[in-house]
Amino acid sequence: MALARRIIPCLDVDAGRVVKGVKFVDIRDAGDPVEIARRYDAEGADEITFLDITASSDERETMVHVVEQVASEVFIPLTVGGGIREMGDIRRMLNAGADKVAINTAAVFRPEFVREASDYFGSQCIVVAIDAKQVADDADGNPRWEIFTHGGRKPTGIDAIEWARRMSDYGCGEILLTSMDRDGTRAGFDLALTRAVSDAVPVPVIASGGVGNLQHLAEGVLEGHADAVLAASIFHFGEYSIREAKQYMAQQGIEVRL
């Protein structure tokens, strides 16, 4: 009897609409975040993460309404990432019904923001999102990863594992770790990266980037030591349901909420 490993579907939202084509046959409006969230909840999702990829700040308010609507109907934890830059952004999302916010670029820009946000709102609602890419090995031939911002486009020169440690020291309650090398490839998580970060920090780590099948999800936990696994496309296109994913993980000896 233990804590269940979590399965978290992730939805990219642009100006209030889900993008990257969610294709459920029995969903009327594949772009409606509320309908999709409701569907994932019914399938047994442990949490839902929304990534706001809206470019224009005028339309950011739309995300608030999306969260309000989802939180009125879906009673599992909701995380919102994308565009969280200041305390006011966090307050707005929490008041709308989000349980956690994911901070990425703003943390790199000003690490103290994570400390202030955790102190003020509580660690439980502050997730630090880390986008990492493998770089040249260190002098001893060990793999190294650095963090990138702006959707993986801008290198920072910061070591991913040191950064994860620092962010957890600053009080974040969780780390959402995405391998930019694997994101979108469907080749599986970067397990070495996932394990290195997960073993380095006291807080839970969500593995993200690269899931193409159910075995990848199980590997994230068994080999990557992740506390939760996040995926988008394998669920969106109806290849696998969340329930199938959980049943598969349970068969691999992983504790899940069924």
Provide the binding-site residues for other proteins, judged by CB under 8 A: 1-6, 41, 46, 68, 71-73, 75-77, 94-99, 121-125, 173-174, 202-205, 227-228, 257
Other CB atoms within 10 A of residue 42 CB? 12
- In whole angstroms, how close is the CB of 74 to other proteins at the nearest point? 9
Taking the least distance from each CB to other proteins, the nearer of 46 and 219 is 46
Q: 81 or 97, CB closer to other proteins?
A: 97
Active-site residue flag, 140 = no
Q: Residue by residue, what is the 3-state secondary structure of 188-222?
A: CCCHHHHHHHHHHCCCCEEEECCCCCHHHHHHHHH
**CB-based contacts of 253, cutoff 8 Å, min separation 6:** 222
Contact 8, 229 (CB under 8 A): yes
Supply the minimum distance, in Å, between the C-beta of residue 37 and other proteins: 12
Task: Compute and round to an integer the Cα radius of gyration of the chain.
Answer: 17
Least separation in angstroms between CB 139 and other proteins: 28
Min dist. Cβ of residue 141 to other proteins (A): 27
Among 12, 41, 46, 99, the one annotated catalytic: 12
- In angstroms, give the least distance from the CB of 250 to other proteins: 13
Asked whether the beta carbons of 202 and 169 are under 8 A apart, the reply is no
Choice between 214 and 228, CB closer to other proteins = 228
Contact 179, 219 (CB under 8 A): no
Helical H runs in the chain?
33-43, 60-73, 87-96, 105-109, 112-121, 160-169, 191-200, 214-222, 233-236, 242-251
Give the nearest distance from C-beta 148 to other proteins in angstroms. 25
Return the number of the residue (2 or 139) whose C-beta is nearest other proteins.
2
Structure tokens of 157?
């020169």
Q: Is 46 a catalytic residue?
A: no
Catalytic pick among 41, 46, 89, 131? 131
Q: Is the dihedral of CA 152, 153, 159, 164 positive or negative?
A: negative
Asked if residue 45 lies in contact with residue 70, where contact means CB atoms within 8 angstroms, the answer is no
Of the two residues 97 and 210, which places its CB atom closer to other proteins in the complex? Answer: 97
The answer to whether 41 and 76 are in contact (CB under 8 A) is yes
**Closest CB to other proteins among 73 and 162?**
73
Q: Which residues are catalytic?
A: 12, 131
